[in-house]
Amino acid sequence: MTDAAALPGQPRGAVAGPATARAVNVLAPNPSAMTLDGTNTWLVAEPGSELAVVIDPGPLDEGHLRAVVATAEAAGRRIGLTLLTHGHADHAEGAARFAELTGTTVRALDPALRLGDEGLGAGDVVTTGGLELRVVPTPGHTSDSLSFHLPADRAVLTGDTVLGRGTTMVAHPDGRLGEYLDSLRRLHSLTTDDGVSTVLPGHGPVLDDAQGALEFYLAHRSARLDQVRAAVEAGVTEPGEVVALVYAAVDRSLWPAAELSVRAQLEYLLGG
């Protein structure tokens, strides 16, 4: 058994509930090998404000969506805005129904996911209810992936770009490895230049060592890329065969996701 403090990013023991002075996680009931404990739906609000922002309502699960609303109401708040980190169903499928329940608009990078006139892009700052959330473009897992910097809590909400446990996939062909590596470096710069110390992920526990988590992710990607490069040099270029070679120690239920990442790695290495 490994001491939790020695794990990359220093993950907390609990997943659901209050995480920082401004952020509370309402955990969706959709656990799986891919979603870990389930989707983290983040309810974020400035202390004393009557308005809250919800990031990633999660799957289309009526009980979960109503639980998010109830959590806000129990704190004396109403939900003023819904944001999406990206369009995968476990994060965004419930957004339209959640907008009906709350009367909010939905802002996202992808126009197809928006409900309302405003999207999200690099440099945007969300200020609902006095809260300050800075939009950080972090493509790579998907082309539309965003993170949200919460400077008052020295935290960043990362969606699937950084998870609370394990590592994420690059969802080829929409996700691209070069962009993902750039996104990890961009997030790492928040830890060195902006004092970010906490990762509020889309799945899994909060990470209390953001810099350590990002350095682990970058090192892990580099090591995996070296392994795939060695396989290619040995003549193994079919994605399924590369997965069997490089991910032999990984649970086979995760091999389909690993193959997406391998395809992205092969594209990165071979330029095709």
Q: Has residue 3 got a pLDDT over 90?
A: no
Could you tell me if residue 258 is inside a domain?
A: no
Examine residue 260 and state whether it is found in any structural domain, yes or no: no
CA–CA dist 201, 184 (Å, integer): 13
H-type helices in 156-271, by residue range?
Answer: 177-193, 210-233, 239-246, 255-270
Instruction: Give how many domains the chain has, as a whole number.
Output: 1
Q: Is the model's pLDDT at 2 over the cut of 50?
A: no
Q: From CA 221, how far away is CA 265, in angstroms rounded?
A: 10
Q: What is the pLDDT of residue 251?
A: 85
Phi and psi based region of residue 268 (left: phi greater than 0; alpha: psi -120 to 50; beta: remaining)? alpha
Largest CA distance in the chain: 62
Domain assignment of residue 253, yes or no? no
Q: Contact, 59 vs 28, CB < 8 A?
A: yes
pLDDT digits 0-9 by tens, 36-67: 999 999 999 999 999 999 999 999 999 999 99
CA-wise closest residue to 125 among 81, 62, 64? 81
pLDDT at 1: 24
Assess if residue 131 is contained within a domain: yes
**Amino acid making up residue 118:** E
What is the reported pTM? 0.94
- Phi and psi angles of residue 243, each rounded to the nearest 5 degrees, phi first: -60, -50
CATH number at residue 64: 3.60.15.10
Strand order, beta sheet including 155-159 = 125-126, 133-137, 146-150, 155-159, 198-201
Rounded distance, CA 46 to CA 272, Å? 47
Domain containing 116 equals 15-222
Instruction: Look at residue 72 and tell me if it is in a domain.
Output: yes
pLDDT(272) > 70: no
Does residue 234 lie within any of the structural domains?
A: no
Residue 250 within a domain: no
Q: What is the pLDDT of residues 145-199, one digit of tens each?
A: 999 999 999 999 999 999 999 999 999 999 999 999 999 999 999 999 999 999 9
Strand 133-137 versus strand 146-150 pairing type: antiparallel
Tell me whether residue 185 is in a domain: yes
Q: Give the C-alpha separation, 33 to 234, whole Å.
A: 31
Residues found in the chain: 272
**Under 8 Å between Cβ of 230 and 269:** no
